Amino acid sequence: MRRKNARMDLQVLRSFQAVAEGTTVTDAAADARITQPALSRALNRLEDEVGAELFQRVGRVLRLTPAGRVFKEYVDAVLDSYDRGRRAVAEIVDPDAGAVSLAFLHTLGTWLVPRLVTDFRQAFPQARFELHQDGEIGLTRHLLDATADLIITSSEPAHPLITWRRLLVEPLRLAVPARHRLARRRRARLAEVAEEPFILLKPGYGLRGISETLCLEAGFTPLVGFEGEEVETLRGLVAAGLGVSLIPSSPDSTTPPDSPIRYLEITDVHGARDIGIAWLSSRALPPITRRFLDHALKSAAAPAASQATSRA
C-alpha cells in the first residue's frame, strides 16, 4: 500500500508539472491513465497539502498563481532528481545501457548527430538517446536546466560552469540563387556580394554572429533582407532569389546539378565555424554518456579529415 501511494503522489506531481506547462487537465489525466475528475481531485488535494492555491482559471485555461510558480521550481527539481536517480541505478545494473541525453543545433541533425549515434549504437546497441534540437542560447539552457547532459554547438558557451571541446571545423559557403551572376563559379570573395540583401538567422543565433563577423572582416556590414529561425528557411529564400546567405556545409554534402542554389567557397575570409561538445563541469556524467562523449571526441573529426584527404 505504501508503494502504491508513493507512486500515485509522484504521478500527481508529474500531472501538476504538465498542467503548469500548458497541458489541459483532460490531456494530463489521459497521460496518467486516470479520469479527468480524479486528476482534478488529486490537484485539489495537492493544494490542500501545500496550503495555497496553485492554479487560477483564466477562461478555459489554468494558469499558475505566484505560489504555484514557486512550487513548480521545486517540483521540477524533485522530478529531475528522481529521474536521474532511476537512470543512475539502471546504469549500475547495466553500464552499457541507459540513455544519453543530448541536445544539438538544428543543422547538425542532418549529418553529424546521426553519424555519431549510428556508430555509437553499433558498439552499444542497448544505449538509448533522448534528443533535443535548439539554437545556441537554448542549448546552454538545456545544460543549466539539466534537460540534457551533453550539447553539440557551434561556439564555446560563455559560462564558467560549462566545459567545451572542439570536435571539428565546419565550412561555411556563400549560398546564391542558381541564376545569380556568380552561380557559375566555384569560388568568390564575400566582398563581391556586399551590396546584396542577406538572408540571416535572427540575432542570438550563433550563425548570425559568425555571418556578421565575416562580413565585417570582408569590409562591409550586411544588408539584412530577412531574418529567420531555421537554416532551411534561409536555403528556401535564397532559392527563391530573395538574397544570398552564409550556409553551413557538411563535409559530405553535394549539390545536384538541378539545385536552385549554388554554394561557393569564400576566398577573402575564413568561412568556417567551430563545432564542439559541452557539458557541465560540476556534473558527474552517467557511464553511458561518458562513453558517448569519448566516442564523439575520438570520431567526429574523422569525416572532415577524410574529406580533406580525398580533395587533396
CA gap 35, 39 in Å, rounded: 6
- With a pLDDT cut of 90, the percent of the chain lying above it is 56
CA gap 146, 101 in Å, rounded: 9
Can you give 146-190 as a three-state secondary structure string?
A: CCCCEEEECCCCCCCCEEEEEEEEEEEEEEEECCCCCCCCCEECH
The vertex-125 CA angle with 120 and 126, nearest 5°, equals 120
> 297 near 150, Cβ under 8 Å?
no
CA gap 205, 184 in Å, rounded: 30
CA gap 263, 266 in Å, rounded: 9
> Which pLDDT tens digit goes with each residue over 92-149?
776 667 889 999 988 888 889 999 999 999 999 988 899 998 887 788 888 888 889 9
Is pLDDT of 216 > 50? Answer: yes
Is pLDDT of 58 > 70? Answer: yes
- What is the pLDDT, as a whole number, of residue 158? 82
> 177 near 193, Cβ under 8 Å?
no
- What is the pLDDT, as a whole number, of residue 302? 62
CA gap 312, 309 in Å, rounded: 5
The H or E element spanning position 70 is helix 66-93
- Cell numbers found for residue 58: 483564466
Residue with cell 564575400: 190
The model carries a pTM of 0.67
Helix axes 287-299, 112-123, angle to 10 degrees: 120
The H or E element spanning position 19 is helix 2-20
- In the chain, the DSSP E strands lie at 55-58, 61-64, 99-105, 128-134, 150-153, 162-177, 187-188, 197-201, 223-228, 245-248, 261-266, 272-280
The pLDDT-based confidence of 252 (bands split at 50, 70, 90) is low
Using only C-alpha atoms, the chain has a radius of gyration, in whole angstroms, of 24
Structural domains for the chain:
2-91 (1.10.10.10), 100-167+279-306 (3.40.190.10), 168-273 (3.40.190.290)
CB proximity list for 79: less than 8 A, separation 6 or greater: 10, 13, 14, 17
Cα pseudo-dihedral 116, 118, 119, 120, rounded to 10: 80
Cα pseudo-dihedral 161, 165, 168, 174, rounded to 10: 30
CA gap 175, 25 in Å, rounded: 47
The pLDDT-based confidence of 3 (bands split at 50, 70, 90) is very low
CB proximity list for 118: less than 8 A, separation 6 or greater: none
